[in-house]
Amino acid sequence: MKKFFKVLKVIVTVLLFSYSLCFILLMFVMPKEERFSFAGNMQGMHLSQTMFNFLTWQHPDYAAAYFEQSVALNKRGKYAEGFRLLDKAVELDPKAHLGYRGYMKLRFLRDYDNALADFNRLDQLTPNFVDAPWGEDIDFLRGEAYFGKADFRNAISAFSRSLENLGEDWADVQTFVYLGLSEYELGKYEKAIAEFHRALEQAGATPEAHLGLAKAYQQRDNFKKAEEHVLKAEENLNYKRDDAYKEFLNEIYLQDILEVKEELSRL
């Protein structure tokens, strides 16, 4: 029995030594790019965050590490800590990270003025180049920020530039929806109707466009058309714009459709 415990003690010691050696190699010795990749693939886990802490301690100018570490925190809604890291990434490499910070301020914090400030600063740093923060056209995002501010004229200008940047065939269908919504808010119902139809020409099952048409036709006393499109909005609601992490500014819900149907039923 004593021999067994001696053998067990040796095995445990070897395992602990091996683990410690692997931990030291992983945290301190491996090339920083390999450690960055390893931590990024384990995004959000405690080991990942620990490795990023070691990376930024060893390499305080490693902007990508601050950025990548911030992503998991912001996804969890830990914005104070996440933005502290993201702000550091922007400070070190503004061209690479300003767009993402503006995107986060727009879509998650609803901080429209500061989102616009980041987008505009990025534009100044990248003249003669159309930026695409987090994969979306910068003027589309600017348009959303102006829409969120209820600055509908500037929203129309930004969304129109986005169409010029991408071309109508490649633009996000929501560009036309936002144009229609902005014209509607300005009381220009015929223009709104035209924009919503442009959206449907690109994607006929766009429920946001159908609901917009229902409301615009209602304002023009064309109740037959309004009823037709509110039913199509309900029929195609599964195709609505949504995201597990955020609510869009023009996102619609069944209740919105039912309210319009109720209004129409009383006319």
Residue whose tokens read 């809604």 = 77
Between residues 213 and 62, the one the model is more confident about: 213
User: CA–CA separation, 234 vs 227, rounded Å?
Assistant: 11
156 within some domain: no
142 within some domain: no
254 within some domain: yes
Q: What is the CATH number of the domain that holds 253?
A: 1.25.40.10
Between residues 202 and 27, the one the model is more confident about: 202
- What is the chain's length? 267
Instruction: Give per-residue pLDDT as tens, 104-146.
Output: 999 999 999 999 999 999 999 999 899 999 999 999 999 999 9
pLDDT bin (cut points 50, 70, 90) of residue 58 is: confident
Instruction: Give per-residue pLDDT as tens, 151-195.
Output: 999 999 999 999 999 999 999 999 999 999 999 999 999 999 999
Burial letters 205-223, b for 16+ CB under 10 A, else e: ebbbbbbbbbbbbbeeebe
User: CA–CA separation, 248 vs 173, rounded Å?
Assistant: 14
200 within some domain: yes
For 180, the domain range is 172-267
203 within some domain: yes
Instruction: Give per-residue pLDDT as tens, 198-219.
Output: 999 999 999 999 999 999 999 9
Residue 50 has pLDDT above 70, yes or no: yes
Domain total for the chain? 1
- Residues 5-30: what's their mean pLDDT? 46
pLDDT bin (cut points 50, 70, 90) of residue 5 is: very low
Query: Residues 6 or more apart from 168 whose CB is under 8 A from it?
Result: 198, 202
Instruction: Give per-residue pLDDT as tens, 250-267.
Output: 999 999 999 999 999 887
252 within some domain: yes
What letter would DSSP give residue 166?
A: H
pLDDT at position 24 is 47
Q: Rounded mean pLDDT of the chain?
A: 88
pLDDT at position 10 is 43
31 within some domain: no
pLDDT at position 32 is 62
9 within some domain: no
